[in-house]
Structure 1
Amino acid sequence: MLNRVRSAVAHLVSSGGAPPPRPKSPDLPNAPSAQTAAPPEAPRSPPARAGSSAPAKTVEARASFSRPTFLQLSPGGLRRADDHAGRAVQSPPDTGRRLPWSTGYAEVINAGKSRHNEDQACCEVVYVEGRRSVSGAPREPSQGQGLCFYYWGLFDGHAGGGAAEMASRLLHRHIREQLKDLVEILQDPSPPPLCLPSTPGAPGSSDASHLVGPQSCCSSQKEVTHESLVVGAIENAFQFMDEQMARERRGHQVEGGCCALVVVYLLGKVYVANAGDSRAIIVRNGEIIPMSREFTPETERQRLQLLVRVYDLTQYEHCPDDVLVLGTDGLWDVTSDCEVAATVDRVLSAYEPNDASRYTALAQALVLGARGIPRDRGWRLPNNKLGSGDDISVFVIPLGGPGSYS
């Protein structure tokens, strides 16, 4: 077991963070066998129609406009979603087939700041199968066939929507790729403690604040836990996504950049990773718990050290009114954490606890509250201050209630 742990975590906690050599991955096309991460292939924007989620095999000129496939927008719905004058709020259709955990989602286009909505969103249930050995032979049988994680992502594009769309389609695949080496380790509820020497200059070597548990190792070593392995995998995935974007930008028409706010639920814990000025908060029994740190060019040096925050769902009894709210800066520019918490209380109290539509209604209320209503001098809030003229995207993830995270 100790050897498996050492092999799996070496590239997560030692210099470089590169994975060991491996054969072609069946999940990611054209995966190289060199000692670099096998990047998922960059897709082309889907045409302006609902239901198309399969990426194309080449990157060409991007389609004029696309929205998250889970919105299931018809061509007419896409036109309404692209209307700067009406700014109609978009949510998944109420067809009985809801997002995982009955997650609520709502979005609205900007007031003319850019031609299209440059936000993107993703909500997936991702299965991770353990990686085969370097020789290609299956590994020894483990406790289970693989692991499943829940994934939510908001991507706020700037100077174009290409980067946000690309990240929304590929970042969770990078996370899955990084977790493949950890499947057996994470399935073992009590792996032996392992301390690896810190390598000067290695990613994360200067800060161990995200590691939990007693620091029983000597000062030149750091303790490796399940939690720190997942944190390292997510951080590596962000880095590889960034590197892939830089490569694609040189050879293809991937315009702009993007902020990324991602939530991963795995084995009882919620991991929140943020790179940019989006924000996540938990509202639990009226209490506000910040779950992200906003990064601007001035705070960029702190980004890698503070990328991921962890919340242990098993440590608290959650009720159906406890939620994790994710929003792009279009929400937070005009809405405080306290105002969001007040909206959570007001909207959810109007619905029965077992009504799954309550979380979509809450997401819509948050978007409408930040957008405001049209008046002679633009979009205005009830206090007559300017509403948000930016794209606004919101996820509301319930943390309690039957079946929420089974």
Structure 2
Amino acid sequence: MTCTKRRRRTPGISCRYCKKPKRDATLTGRHKLIPQSPEEKQRKSDKDEDDVAIQKSAPSQKTTFMDSRVPGSPGQAAKGTSMAGHVARPRSSQKPILSFSDELDEDEGISMSFSLSETTNKRFKTEQMISAMMPAPATYSNPLSIAEYIVPSKAAASLGQLSFGVSQARGARPYMEDRHTIVANYSPTATGGLPDSDGVLRSYAAVFDGHNGSQSAEEAASRLHKVLAAERGFAGCTGTAGAPAAEAEAAAMSGALESAFLAMDREILDRARRESGRDGCCVLVAVRIGDYLWTAHAGDSRAVLSRGGRSLRLTEDHKPGLERERQRVVGAGGRVEFQRCWRVISGGNDDDPGRRTGLAVSRSFGDIEFKEPRLFVERIPDVGRVQLLPEDSLIIMASDGLWDVLGDQQAVDIAHEAVKADLQKGVMAQAGDMLAKAASSALVFAALKKGTLDNVTVVVIMLRWD
């Protein structure tokens, strides 16, 4: 038991159990106070004198702790800075700290409450200690709805080819379960099975954050773009139709994305039944068609657009604590409980006395335990569309390993600073892939510096306006 309370200060008194001075000891419970010995008093006096001498000899430094959680607050980090405080980093000789899967925790028992093993408790306490040292992540909510994203385009500039940069890191984990897919020149599949070119500029990028294994993420990364390319609604979407045809085109494209997600999840579940798999993955897809960007996602991977240097969130994290997601899960007969975070709970009750499992996202691919026999975790994506404007410079797509420790605006600022630094070094503005790679690398490095425990995958898309 650690003494943390403070009552009153009386010199020369310490706790007989924790040996702390009375000012750090509680007067209640099992802690009884005993006088300090003369030797202890002398040692403390000598230490205080040494500390004073060191402070006098050291140069004066002013330490500022910045809090990025409240924009505009006196302690907020200035634009372009990436740190919101200091994070203690372990020595390189220490073993990497293992953590729970951010999406999946399980208990083999049938108890209604989670019973953590001794080893798990040690890991949990270690994570709590690290979390206490980490600065709280910034949270920037986007006040705009999807409908408000679509604004009249400016004819003064046209959007050319996109540039892509990807960076990844395992974080504190001994494995990598993230996957990604980039298709710079993306075309619908014609009747004969070959790409059909109609002159419309299209691109595809996707991030897959696996949990409880990488099989679902691997399968989706290799197949989803092919499934979508074969959808009729995707082939008919050019981004150039005028009203009212534009509305019908948008509805067809939205239906194509939903259909592709459903088909991909069916493939993954078929494999899970054959192999008794229990893995799953979060999905984030971005498709550029002309001057429009379509997003579809299931899970907590996030897409953020930089518009005039300000962050514009394009997706909403699918967490069980989100009210509309909680209502959907409960309405389907599922349970949402708080176990370190809000989770969808499967098993461990009278109806299903098997293994009790908690999932920290409310939509995903795979995760057969949460979809059969009843569908608690959805596979249908949220679909959004935004018209890209000349003031739009880059798009950040990343798994939650980045967003757990960085806010939207922080990420945008770090990406812009990295691009600016490369331009000052002489990198040509036309070398978009190099600039995108520099931005993605800077974001991954910032997440690691902030102490993220999860796998991190960052895709940066640079927009070039002609």
Q: Are 2:455 and 1:394 equivalent residues in the alignment?
A: no
* 8 A contact 1:318–1:401 mirrored in 2: no
Q: Are 2:372 and 1:308 equivalent residues in the alignment?
A: no
Number of the residue aligned with 2:395: 324
* 8 A contact 2:261–2:381 mirrored in 1: no
Alignment equivalent of 1:166, drawn from 219, 222, 233:
219
| Partner Cα distance (2:170, 2:402) in 1 | 12
Alignment equivalent of 2:406, drawn from 313, 335, 349:
335
Q: Are 2:162 and 1:101 equivalent residues in the alignment?
A: yes
Alignment equivalent of 1:360, drawn from 437, 447, 457:
437
Number of the residue aligned with 1:286: 309
* 8 A contact 1:156–1:260 mirrored in 2: yes
Q: Are 2:405 and 1:344 equivalent residues in the alignment?
A: no
Amino acid at match of 1:317: P
Over 4 Å off, 4+ runs = 143-148, 187-194, 302-306
Q: How does 1:136-285 map to 2 (within 5 A)?
A: 149-178=202-231, 180=232, 183=235, 185-186=236-237, 190=241, 193=244, 224-252=247-275, 254-285=277-308
Number of the residue aligned with 1:371: 448
Q: Which gives a bigger RCO, structure 1 or 2 (Cα 8 Å, sep 6+)? A: 2
* 8 A contact 2:239–2:292 mirrored in 1: no
Alignment equivalent of 1:123, drawn from 182, 194, 199:
182
| Partner Cα distance (1:287, 1:370) in 2 | 20
Q: Check 1:186–1:160 CA distance in 2 against 1; reply closer, same or farther (3 A cut).
A: closer
Instruction: Report how far residue 172 of structure 1 moved.
Output: 0.9
| Partner Cα distance (1:188, 1:267) in 2 | 5
Amino acid at match of 1:175: L
| Partner Cα distance (1:278, 1:231) in 2 | 19
5+ residue gaps in structure 1?
1-83, 87-99, 137-142, 195-211, 213-223, 373-380, 382-386
Q: Check 1:175–1:306 CA distance in 2 against 1; reply closer, same or farther (3 A cut).
A: closer
Instruction: Report how far residue 181 of structure 1 moved.
Output: 5.5
Q: Secondary structure at the match of 1:127?
A: coil
Instruction: Report how far residue 146 of structure 1 moved.
Output: 8.2
Amino acid at match of 1:105: V
With the length of structure 1 as denominator, give the TM-score of the two structures: 0.55
Q: Secondary structure at the match of 1:362?
A: helix
With the length of structure 2 as denominator, give the TM-score of the two structures: 0.48
Q: Secondary structure at the match of 2:405?
A: coil
Q: Check 1:159–1:226 CA distance in 2 against 1; reply closer, same or farther (3 A cut).
A: same
Q: Secondary structure at the match of 1:126?
A: coil
Identity percentage over the alignment? Answer: 27
| Partner Cα distance (1:191, 1:338) in 2 | 34
Q: Check 1:362–1:237 CA distance in 2 against 1; reply closer, same or farther (3 A cut).
A: same
Amino acid at match of 2:229: R
| Partner Cα distance (1:368, 1:144) in 2 | 38
| Partner Cα distance (1:144, 1:160) in 2 | 37
Q: Secondary structure at the match of 2:311?
A: strand
Amino acid at match of 1:308: V
Q: Check 1:192–1:168 CA distance in 2 against 1; reply closer, same or farther (3 A cut).
A: same
Q: How does 1:376-387 map to 2 (within 5 A)?
A: 381=450, 387=451
Amino acid at match of 1:127: S
Instruction: Report how far residue 182 of structure 1 moved.
Output: 5.5
| Partner Cα distance (2:307, 2:321) in 1 | 31
